[in-house]
Every structure is written in C-alpha cells, then in structure tokens.
Structure 1
Amino acid sequence: MRNWILPEYISDVLPSEARQIEALRRKVLDLFTCYGYEQVSPPLIEYVESLFTQDDSALDLKTFKLVDELTGRQMGLRADITPQVARIDAHILNRQGVARLCYAGSVVNARPEGVLSTREPRQIGAEIYGCAGVAADVEAIELMFESLALAGLKSPRLDIGHIGLFHALANEAGLMGHRRAEVFSALQQKDLPTIRETTAEIAAELRAALLLLPSFYGGSEVLIRARAELPKLPGVTAALDSLDQLTAALELRGLVVHFDLAELRSSYYHTGLVFAAYAHGFTNAVARGGRYDSVGEKFGRSRPATGFSMDLREFSSLPFPSLRSGVLAPAGDDVALLAAIRALRSAGEIVMIDLGVFASEVSIDRELKWVDARWQVLPLTTAH
C-alpha cells in the first residue's frame, strides 16, 4: 500500500506556496486592521447544529461529520467560517453597535467546488454586522478589491446580483419547498428549459419574469431594462433601488460594475445583494460576498450583515515577491558569533545555521565569516 497517497482534491502545501499564502494572509489581515476590523478565530470543529445558520442543504452536503466520543453528539468540520462568525457576533460579543470582524483559517469540504478546486481552502474574509445601509456593502466591496490588489490582481471584473429579485417573484408565485429550490438551482445554472418546466403552472407574468432574469446581464442599462420589464412588486422595486444606490457609490470610487441579475451562486444564507470578482486565468470567482441579514437568527439575534471571503490558495500560483535571500552562518558556540547572529536576526535578516546546507536547495546569497578579527557578512563564495 502506498501510504503517502493523499485523498482526492487534498494536497500538501510546499515551502514556496506556503510562503506566498502566509505572506498574503499577513498583508490582507493588516489591511483589514486598517479598516477597523477585529480578528476572530473560531474552532475548526463544532457541533453540527451551530455550523449551519438554517436549513442549508448545500452547506450540509459540504460538511464532514463525525461523532464526538466525549458526548456522543454529532460534530462537523467547518466548511464555511461565516456561520461561526455570526454565532460570535450574536451570542458572544452581543454588541449594540456595528461590529467589524475578520478571520483567516482552513475549511474542509466533503465535496470540491469544481474540478480544479481543493477540498481544504484557506478562507479569509471580512464581515460587517449591525448596518443595513448600502454604505456597508460599499465598504465590503471596496475592501474585497483592495485585498485582490494585494494578491496581484489589478483589474478583476465585478459582477453584482440581488437574490431579493428571485425571492420577490418566487413568493408572489407561491413557490415553496423543493420546487422553489429547483427553480433557484436552475437559475444558478441559467437552465431555461428546467425553469420553463418547473414554473409551468404559475402565473404567466411571473413565469416570464423568472425566465427573463438570466438575460439581465451587462452594464447599467440592465437596471433600466429590469425596471421596465419586471413586475412592479415591492420586493423587486426595493432590490433595484438598492442596486442603483450601490452603483452610484461604487462608480464614485472608480469601480466598474457589471450586473448579472441571475447571479445566485452563493450560500443559502444570503438574503439580498450578492457579488463576485472574476479575473483572467481563473475558472471560478476569485472572491465572493453579499448580504445575509438573517444569518444570526438561529443564534438568538438577527442582525443585518454583509461581507466577503476568498481562498488564499487560489493565488499561490501568481507572481509574488519572493522571500529575500538569507545569510549562511557557521555552527558553533563562539560568543561573538552568537551575538552577530542575534543582531542580524533582530535587524530582520534571515540567518541559517550551516548544518549541511545545499545552496541550490535554499535561498542564500551571503555568508557570515570571521575576517579581520570580526564576524562579517560577505557574498557567498564557499561551495555548498
């Protein structure tokens, strides 16, 4: 048996990739701090009841489950950190005002998102709790773009949708349960034949509106078309009004907005605005987010919330400043040598003790040598 074989869609993170992931993690968390976000670190494993904010079948299928030997209760490895952060906001912090929270950690998926996806993403994200206004959505999107710029993506495309449009039409049509979920799934795939089949018995106007949603794709003209062609339901009007406000604010910040009003590829807990960033060379969205105003309801406190997340491993193949070269120091107990090594490390230098180093395997370009009665850093000349 080859016991070094890893499960499908699971892989080791080797030094060069790990350096890039960690460097980006630190930079993005520092960026979040500059915006006033506080970091939280939920556990990797919890009772399954607290890993789902509601009856979320999609997240349930993605969650590895096991039995806790101490209690006999079912536990799960988290597949998404947002429900955990919602629990912290609602049940532990319990703040009256706005809470800006961020996180970075591994999640584990029982099923991969796509053919090229890993089942162990390194999720990093930021969330705002307690603000229902468009200003919070603007901040989340701005912060997402700043984070992607740190990863080396300068001009990703922003696609915006609004799940409220689907909910308003589905509620008016009386779509419930399995049938509603089937139409929702078909819209995600832009599968018009399935939409026609599953909505055959609802009012013609509402059926036509659901079939129109996938065609609303493009620039600001999409919102004008949607107002003219969709039913004048309160939920539809409210969703389009919020998209108009959001667009104006984003354009002031120099962001170009594309709309996809059938953009429903999100977690079940999203309730309104959804957005995604796409970039050349990437099959899937490089970051996703949206509004999830009822996410904390299960934990006893429903607060408006918005935010985004991305997988740090997605960016490990991008050109990234390499780790600076280090200094090779001889092994020994000489007091002056030890002091020189400490001084170099205190100054931020990388110092490797020579325990059998091959220069071709590590990044070193200098060495610490005893010259003129003192330890000096010189260009690497000794063969290793």
Structure 2
Amino acid sequence: MSKWLLPENLADILPAEARRIEELRRDLLDLYRTYGFELVAPPLVEYLDSLLTGTGGDLNLRTCKLVDQLSGRTLGVRADMTPQVSRIDAHLLNRDGVTRLCYCGTVLHARPSGLLSDRELLQIGAELFGHAGVEADIEIIQLAFQSVERAGVSHARLDLNHPGVVHAIIQADPALPGVADDIYDLLSSKDTPGLIELAKRLPDMQEASLQALLTLVSLYGGPEVVARARRVLPALPAVQAALASLETLMGALPDRELGIDLADMGSGYGYHSGAVFSIYADGWHDALVKGGRYDGIGKAFGRARPATGFSLDLRKLSSGLEPPPVARAIRAPWGTDSLLLDALRALRDSGEIVVQALPGQAQHLDEFTVDRELALDGGAWKVRAI
C-alpha cells in the first residue's frame, strides 16, 4: 500500500481552502462573541461513558474507541461536541440563569454519516443553557442563519420538526421503545419499506402505530403540514403539544423561508427533546446546519438544564462556496540588510503579504498573485508594480 494513501472519507485540506476555513472560523467565533457566547475548548478524547451520556445509539456507533494506557478505561474520540459543552455547563461552570457557550474543534466519525460525507469534521457551534422559552430557540435559529449568511450563503431555507411527535407514538406502544433508534433512522431516511419490515419483526406492534409512522414519512412541505398533522396523526396529548410548539416557533420567524418535515430527527444522536431544525441551501447535498432543543442532557452531570443550540461543519460549509479569491502579494529579494528588514517589517505590520525569494529557487504560489515587488531605488526600499 502506498504510504501516502489516506483512510476512506478522510482528506487533506490544501492551502487556499485551509486559509478560507480558518478565516471562517475566526469570523464566526467573533460573531458569536458579539451575542455574548463565551468560547470553551473541551478535550478531543474523554472517557466513553461521559462522552455518550444522554445520547442515543447512533452516536455510539460513530465514536472511535481506544484504551487509556494510564487508567485502563475505554476512551472515545468525540464525534459530537454538544454533550461535552453540556458537561461544562452543568458540572464545571455551575452557573445560575442563562449561559451562552460556543466552541470549534475537530470531531471524528468511525463511519461517515452519508455517501458523500467526511469522517473528520471541523465542528463549530453555539449552545444556550438555562432558558426553556421559545425566545432561546429563536435566538439560536437567527444566529445559525447569520452564520451561513456571513459565509456568503444565499437563499438558505429552514426545516423544522419536533421529536416529541415520534416519541409520543413510540411511548404509546409497548413494543416500540426497544427499537426507537431504528425507527429514528428509518424515519430520517424516509424508508417506508424499512418501517413495514420492522413491523413484521414486531408481532406485538399495534397497527395504529405502524400507520402513524408511515404517515409521518409523508408529512413534509410548507407550514400547512402542521395543520394536516393534527388531522391525521393520533390525538395524543404529547403529539398535540409538540405541534403547538412548532406553530409558536413558525409564528416567530415570519421572514424565513421554512418547511416542516416531521420525519427529520435532527442530528440522529437521540438527545433532542424539543423543536429541532436544519438549514439547507443550494450547492450542498444535505443540511448545512443542524440544531434544536435538548433539555435535561446535563442531568447525568449533576444538573438538568434547559438547552438549545446548533452546530455545523466548517469544512463542508467551505466546500460549497465559490473558490476563494487569490490574495495579492509583494515579492522581495533575499537579504539581511537592516534597511531591507525594516521595510519588510513595516509592510507586514500594515497587513501586506511579502514573500522573500530564496536564492536560486523558483516560487510557486497558487494562493497568491504577486503583482508588486520591493526594490531598491535611490538608497531606499520601495514597492513598485510588476
């Protein structure tokens, strides 16, 4: 095997793309700071039981495991940073009232989430803890939209759902809680034959439950879907409460192009408890942003807190944007003369890119266009056009 061959669904990021990703990271973290979100940096690896607390089986399958040589315990390489940030809020900060936290770091998936997905993501996101009202959800959704708009994404669209609808249907049928993760996966992929096959393996499953799940697959479209869902889904109190929550959220976002997809289960990690959302845009094969409410995930860390947030992959976001513009640069000769060094320092301090030509070496600068040079003119170093 060639030594340069990378594992499947992992890739190097080359100079121009890496620069744009880094600029996006800085810009978005600065944006979150203007909203009052404080930056945290949890570790890449944690004990597995802490890393998977409060999550579903899908996150477990995507988490790479290894043995800690110091303790002998099983460690996990994080596949999602939200549980880590929840631990920080509940156990380390332990604040009363509202806490706003943001983060950016690498996550690794043991298996890709889709055919075109990478296994290594640069996940950036924001989480708001301590407020159970719809106001927190609205702030998070607005910040998620501003994130993609700052990157240059136009005509972004919002999809809403509430896992409480599916949870209510599952809890109403004693045969279903044990296969809840399977149901979430089948609904998210709108796999009607898979749902029918699942029902055949569960002889105690109620026919009404199967019909409700099959109906959910077709409940997507515009805001009118919520009214249709009230008519065709079981009249369970939890179903009605979830639909009412979606109506409240839709009413608070009148200026956004939005749709409803009652089969979209959000991140698929099993910790969402309230309204979830996805943001889509032309040029990307699946959701750019995923987020939603996940009250109570911090209970295992000592405090059950209302929480809502979102995350996105900066590498995916960058990959669908127009190619980054080539930066202008100045060519300078190699030398250690004090006047030359002073001129180089002054130009770089002013924000200019200055590349010194090493002796006898040709330069290949794909990321820069060299349109000026630093030359000695009358005893002084001056910049002139090439």
Q: Is contact 2:44-2:107 (8 Å) kept?
A: yes
Q: Is contact 2:161-2:265 (8 Å) kept?
A: yes
Q: Which amino acid aligns with 2:382?
A: Q
2:251 corresponds to:
248
Distance 1:194 1:6 in 2: 34
Q: Is contact 1:67-1:75 (8 Å) kept?
A: yes
Among residues 358, 363, 381, which one is paired with 1:358 in the alignment? 363
2:259 corresponds to:
258
C-alpha RMSD of matched pairs (Å):
1.8
2:220 corresponds to:
217
1:168 corresponds to:
168
Q: Which runs of 4+ in 1 moved over 6 A?
A: none
How big is the shift at 1:98?
0.8
1:329 corresponds to:
332
Distance 1:177 1:335 in 2: 75
- SS of 2:172's equivalent in the other structure is helix
How big is the shift at 1:360?
5.3
Distance 1:96 1:181 in 2: 33
Distance 1:194 1:74 in 2: 34
Q: Is contact 1:328-1:367 (8 Å) kept?
A: yes
Spell out, residue by residue over 1:225-252, the C-alpha distance to the aligned partner (whole angstroms, 9 max, x if none): 112222332211211111111001111x
Q: Which amino acid aligns with 2:363?
A: F
Q: Which amino acid aligns with 2:220?
A: Y
Q: Which amino acid aligns with 1:344?
A: L
Q: Is contact 2:157-2:256 (8 Å) kept?
A: no
Q: Which amino acid aligns with 1:274?
A: V
Structure 2 CA distance for partners of 1:66 and 1:344, relative to 1, 3 Å: same
Spell out, residue by residue over 1:244-280, the C-alpha distance to the aligned partner (whole angstroms, 9 max, x if none): 11001111xx112100011114221111211111222
- Find out whether 1:371 has 2:377 as its counterpart: yes
Spell out, residue by residue over 1:284-315, the C-alpha distance to the aligned partner (whole angstroms, 9 max, x if none): 21111111112212211111111111111113
Q: Is contact 1:183-1:194 (8 Å) kept?
A: no
Structure 1 residues not aligned, in runs of 5+: none
Spell out, residue by residue over 1:201-241, the C-alpha distance to the aligned partner (whole angstroms, 9 max, x if none): 44444443222112211112111111222233221121111
Distance 1:202 1:23 in 2: 52
Distance 2:160 2:217 in 1: 13
Does 100-109 or 147-156 show the bigger shift? 147-156
Distance 1:361 1:314 in 2: 22
- Find out whether 1:300 has 2:302 as its counterpart: yes
Identity %: 49
Q: Is contact 1:19-1:323 (8 Å) kept?
A: no
Distance 1:77 1:174 in 2: 35
Distance 1:128 1:178 in 2: 31
Q: Which amino acid aligns with 1:238?
A: A
- Find out whether 1:228 has 2:231 as its counterpart: yes
Distance 2:280 2:53 in 1: 27
- Find out whether 1:239 has 2:245 as its counterpart: no
How big is the shift at 1:50?
1.5
Distance 2:298 2:365 in 1: 53
- SS of 1:173's equivalent in the other structure is coil
1:344 corresponds to:
347
